[in-house]
Amino acid sequence: MSFYVTTPIYYVNAAPHLGHAYTTIAADILARHHRQRGEDVFFLTGTDEHGEPVADAARAKGVEPQALADLNSERFRALAPVLGASNDFFIRTTDPQHMAVVQDVLSRVRDNGFVHKGTYEGWYCPRCADFKAENEIDEGNRCPIHHIELTREQEENYFFQLSAFQEPLETLYAQRPDFVSPRTRYNEALSFIRSGLHDVPLTRHKLTWGVPVPWDPEHVFYVWFDALLNYYSALSYAPAPAGSPLAQGELTEAFWPASFHLIAKDILRFHAVFWPALLMAADLPLPQHIFIHGYLLMDGEKMSKSLGNVLDPFAVIDRFGSDALRFYLMRDVQFGQDGSVSTAAFEQRYESELANDLGNLASRTIAMVHRYRAGLVPDVPLDPHLAADFRRLPQQLSELLDRAELTLGLELIWERVRRLNRYVEERAPWVLAKDEQRAAELDQVLASLIAALRVLALLLHPYLPASTHLLLSALRHDDRSLAGAEWEWEPEPAPAGRAIGEIDSLFPKSA
Ligand code: ME8
């Protein structure tokens, strides 16, 4: 089994913000979860460096586009490990290997008869690098996303014959109802297709900052076609993932087509319409799923660097750690829908759920094993009352994450975190400990709590990799695979009990 997940490649016209961190974290959770299932995983992220958004930003700063791209691409590259992201490669569209693949694939699209010359006239947003139809623009000819005035463009270009793919795309959507999700986004893409597809510019004549068109050096490729191809080109030159039996050069065969492209709804049309059409035109297999999440909103507006209403992920992580940010974003905003974020909501979740529900549960459980059983987990059968709530969780989580239902997956686990807290209160080990007659009961409660903590830590591992690593290390459970999250998983017999370590507060309240 192989699993290939991607994030959009981010524009390098400014530094990363929380919106970018969001998609990268989501993709990382899927990648880590599939690694836990023992699959070969490839997780790609990177930066989109050509086109007007970058050329204009560089001009405004008085620097060359390449210099701005180098500076900001490095910031995005540095953000990934800070977020705890385990990406296998970081692509830059200025990589010469990527540029060669773009030229190669788009020449094939032309050889296949899907490119013709024409004149484009219409509205254009240089921040979106997007040509806007009349019904997509705000009053005063403004971009509905960036609120800037659109420019009227007239340009002789090569066009991609998108119109030829109207029927094939309708068939694709009919045959694969899970090609795009959530359902609202599927419907949105399909109705765009049904409204009639027009040919779109494939090249730009006025721009020089882009991948040169091999058959006409006065043109560069329109940045979106250059950018979309990153998902395919990366596999041709990325090194094989650490520990993989694959060699460099074997990744396309192993991982193409992608399992999941994660994006936000701002770039739905490019991914759900242009991209499959382009792949068909190039005779390449189509991705399995495109999942379109919503916007993180601040003050009711899409968080965006050009609007200036951004929350700095570096600052949040500095104070609370990357797990806290990962948790908050997946928990507070239903993945797939828009949701508001705020420092107040973040702090509330941190205190009540991470510090209290999970952190306290872990530290008091481990402390009780040390206090009452000298750090040895009794080797006794587990409490059957917990079994119904803890059995089959890996399967249930996998089913949700196979649909990229990241928030529902986290809620599935958190219900058990709360269940276990109730169990501690109900069974009150501190009461049992006072009564020698009830030693066997206490043994069972402690063994069950530790087993349940192991299950929770393994299930939560993709969401909270750093803190669950600490917890699993304290539990002396080295294997990170999902097999250990089975309630029935049996440790090696140890009649005298299994030793566990100690743990510091996982989510300190003073953070
Ligand atoms: O569009 N809420 O790059 P970009 C949620 N280079 N997600 C957000 C967000 C927000 N407020 N803001 C950004 C581009 N994102 C192109 C993509 S792909 C072939 C080329 C995330 O820097 C989300 O994933 O504008 C969104 O789709 C992406 O960043 C846009 O990043």
Query: Ligand 1 in contact with 20 (CB < 6 A)?
Result: yes
pLDDT of residue 308: 62
Closest atom of ligand 1 relative to the 264 alpha carbon: 27
Rounded distance from Cα 435 to ligand 1 centre (Å):
59
Gap between the Cα atoms of 390 and 324, Å rounded: 24
Please give the chain's pLDDT, 511 residues, in tens.
Answer: 999 999 999 999 888 999 999 999 999 999 999 999 999 999 999 999 999 889 999 999 999 999 999 999 999 999 999 999 999 999 999 999 999 999 999 999 999 999 999 988 888 888 887 888 888 888 888 998 888 898 888 889 999 999 999 999 999 999 999 999 999 999 999 999 999 999 999 999 888 999 999 999 999 999 999 999 999 999 999 999 988 889 888 999 999 999 999 999 999 999 999 999 999 999 999 999 999 999 999 877 776 666 666 667 887 898 889 999 999 999 999 999 999 998 888 989 999 999 999 999 999 999 999 999 999 999 999 999 999 999 999 999 999 999 999 999 999 999 999 999 999 999 999 999 999 999 999 999 999 999 999 999 999 999 999 999 999 999 999 999 999 999 999 999 999 999 999 999 999 986 5
10 alpha carbon – ligand 1 mean position (Å): 6
Cα–Cα distance measured from residue 68 to residue 46, given in angstroms and rounded to the nearest whole number: 15
* Predicted pLDDT of residue 130: 84
Ligand 1 in reach of 330 Cβ (< 6 A): no
The answer, yes or no, to whether any atom of ligand 1 lies below 6 A from the CB of 80, is no
Among the listed residues 128, 219, 293, 477, the single catalytic one is 128
Torsion of CA 344, 345, 346, 350, to 10 degrees: 100
- Residue 264 Cα to ligand 1 midpoint, Å, equals 6
For residue 133, what pLDDT is reported?
A: 80
pLDDT value, residue 309: 60
Among 284, 264, 443, CA closest to 368: 443
- Provide the CB-side half-sphere exposure for 309 (13 A, CA): 14
d(CA 497, CA 478): 17
Is 128 among the residues known to form the active site?
Answer: yes
Query: Does the annotation count 271 as an active-site position?
Result: no
Cα(399)–Cα(393) distance, integer angstroms: 10
Residue whose CB lies within 8 A of the most ligand 1 atoms, among 7, 13, 23, 222, for a mutation test: 23
Q: Write the CB contacts of 224 (distance below 8 Å, at least 6 apart in sequence).
A: 51, 129, 130, 270, 274
Q: What is the pLDDT of residue 319?
A: 84
- Three-state SS string over 183-238 comes to HHHHHHHHHHHHCCCCCEECEECCCCCCCECCCCCCCEECHHHHHHCHHHHHHHHC
Please give the distance, rounded to the nearest whole angstrom, from the Cα atom of residue 154 to the centre of ligand 1.
Answer: 27
Ligand 1 contact via 228 beta carbon (within 6 Å):
yes
Per-residue model confidence (pLDDT) at position 446: 98
Its pTM stands at 0.95
User: Could you say which of 17, 132, 265, 271 is catalytic?
Assistant: 17
Q: Helices 439-460 and 406-427: crossing angle, nearest 10°?
A: 170
Helix axes 465-474, 361-373, angle to 10 degrees: 10
Catalytic residue among 293, 302, 461, 477: 302
Report whether residue 73 contacts ligand 1, using a CB cutoff of 6 Å: no
Q: How far apart are CA 289 and CA 107, in angstroms?
A: 26
Atom 26 in ligand 1: which residue has the minimum CA distance? 264
List the end-to-end C-alpha distance of the chain, in Å, as a whole number: 41
CA 20 to ligand 1 center in whole angstroms:
6
Query: Catalytic pick from 50, 98, 132, 143?
Result: 143
Q: Is 34 a catalytic residue?
A: no
Q: Given 34, 305, 461, 477, which residue is catalytic? A: 305
Which residue puts its alpha carbon closest to atom 27 of ligand 1? 264
